[in-house]
Amino acid sequence: MTRRRAAWSGTISPVNASTGTPLPATTSRAVIDLDAIAHNAHVLAAVGGVPWMAVVKADAYGHGLAPVAITCLRAGATWLGVAQLAEALHLRALLDAAGVARPAHHPDSVPTSERPRLLCWLMPVLTPEQAAAPGSVLRAALAAGIDLSVSTRAQLDAIAAAARAESAAAGVPARIHLKVDTGMSRGGAAAADLPALAAAAKAAEDEGTVAVVALWSHLSRAEELGSGSTAKHLSRFLEAERTVAEAGLNPRLRHLAATAGLLWHPDARLDLVRIGIGLYGLSPDPAVANSAALDLVPAMRLEAPLTQVKRIPAGQAVSYGGTWRAPTDRWLGLVPLGYGDGVPRAASNGGPVAVGGIRSAIVGRVCMDQVVIDLGPATTPEGAPLDPPAAAGDVAVLWGAPDAVIPAADEWAQVCSTINYEIVTRLGERVPRVYLGRDAARISSLHDQEPRA
């Protein structure tokens, strides 16, 4: 398994757990508060009242796969969910290496005697021959005990072939979650295709190559409370349950809801909820209820020290294309973060930034590695000089747990015409992640056992 995040071994810095001050302020970084993630997990688990899966795809929405996964397992997650097989294999290797699967032999393990269940829902396109070949990614997934999602006959056939090839070694059926399309029209079997898929799955189950452990789907408009969409999803889901039952299948687990479904559609919670965005302290739709209203604490703070503060005269243009001109003599700050780090270029002339007690904003275009922020007038209206309100080395915060000056990721999403999910998830590997929280140092020590790439 290659490391997906080369920075992983270097990103957990020594943390002063008693003061909460993590590191010398020398570089840009995303400070991830693992206590906030644990808090959010407890809040959402209490709302849901059913077992929950921590969705940690895309490097845990940019927050860092292993620290988030371990934090969620400690907070009571019984499942972990990812989109890609590479993510699933990487996660399994990290957890095994951290001793999470072997509590008796590791003092820092989570209190469970089982390997945590992992579900992966995007399948590769493989012929049965390819799937059965030694070293195939599906055989690796089965050997790693990863549950796989099945939407099509081709996926089922590939997994069954991999399981037949693998069972010589392991002798256990592939655990599959049948995915039905209940209205999103993304993955999942269409209602018309489900009877044949269910019959084939039943045949594979009878053969002992697969075990259909779950039936599942995904909601498309769970944040639109009045749309009636989720009720339609639910009724199609119940219809799918009847279809698979008629095929002789009896999946014990049914899951449908992500964060929005969990929060706003109690009927959709079923046997398991798959929680992503809420764990990270963000609302699936701040227009319905924001983080504070949901008692969630945003876990990521993106910050960097100002590398330069300088004065420019009235009328001078800033950054590529000169899209902003100083209305008066101005103090500017230079922040060493740009679109190469994942700061959206759409935040040009508007992305909010806090420096000390000041609310500032990006002026001019976002560059690859840097942005310029406006620190305010350099003279009084009468022309008397004003001192700069900040100095090189002062920390600029782009987003974090919001307060009177610190912007929320929600605000960035609004400025950039996107959603908070994208703001945090697109943050690049170039930005070191630094972990805060009661267990941060301990969790960082777990990764010493990470297998070599």
Ligand X SMILES: *Cc1c(COP(=O)(O)O)cnc(C)c1O
Kindly state the number of chain residues that form the binding site for ligand X, as judged by CB under 6 A. 13
CB of 59 to ligand X, least distance (A): 13
**Closer to ligand X at the Cβ: 273 or 436?**
273
Q: Is residue 57 annotated as a catalytic residue, yes or no?
A: yes
Catalytic site residue from 57, 61, 339, 435: 57
CA distance 343 to 302: 10
Residue nearest to ligand X (CB): 276
Q: In the beta sheet, which residues pair with residue 354?
A: 359, 397
**Closer to ligand X at the Cβ: 121 or 331?**
121
**Closer to ligand X at the Cβ: 52 or 331?**
52
Name, in order, each residue with C-beta under 8 angstroms of 210's C-beta and a sequence gap of 6 or more: 156, 159, 160, 163, 173, 174, 175, 176, 201, 204
Burial bucket for residue 292 (CB in 10 Å: 0-12, 13-18, 19+): middle
**Closer to ligand X at the Cβ: 82 or 372?**
82
CA distance 156 to 223: 32
**Closest Cα to residue 111, out of 124, 100, 125, 122?**
100
CB of 410 to ligand X, least distance (A): 14
DSSP-H helix ranges across 63-107: 65-74, 85-97
Q: Which of 32, 41, 54, 55 binds ligand X (CB under 6 A)?
A: 55
CB of 261 to ligand X, least distance (A): 8
Half-sphere exposure in the Cβ direction for 82 (13 Å, CA): 25
CA distance 249 to 372: 60
3-state secondary structure at position 398:
strand
CB of 354 to ligand X, least distance (A): 26
Cβ neighbours around 26 below 10 Å, total: 9
For residue 246, is it left (φ>0), alpha (ψ between -120 and 50) or beta?
alpha
CB of 219 to ligand X, least distance (A): 9
**Closer to ligand X at the Cβ: 276 or 281?**
276
**Closer to ligand X at the Cβ: 7 or 184?**
184
Burial bucket for residue 226 (CB in 10 Å: 0-12, 13-18, 19+): exposed
Residue 348 makes contact with ligand X by CB under 6 A: no
First-to-last C-alpha distance (Å) of the chain: 6
Q: Which of 121, 264, 331, 412 binds ligand X (CB under 6 A)?
A: 121
| Chain residues 250-309 in contact with ligand X, contact rule CB under 6 A | 258-260, 274-278, 284
Q: Is residue 320 annotated as a catalytic residue, yes or no?
A: yes
**Closer to ligand X at the Cβ: 162 or 260?**
260
Q: Structure tokens of 381?
A: 């209206």
Catalytic site residue from 61, 179, 280, 320: 320
Name, in order, each residue with C-beta under 8 angstroms of 285's C-beta and a sequence gap of 6 or more: 223, 260
Largest CA distance in the chain: 87
| Chain residues 199-238 in contact with ligand X, contact rule CB under 6 A | 218
CB of 159 to ligand X, least distance (A): 18
CB of 97 to ligand X, least distance (A): 25
Cβ neighbours around 429 below 10 Å, total: 16
Q: How far is CA 5 from the centre of its chain?
A: 14
Residue numbers annotated as active site: 57, 320
Q: Which residues bind ligand X (CB under 6 A)?
A: 55, 57, 121, 218, 258-260, 274-278, 284
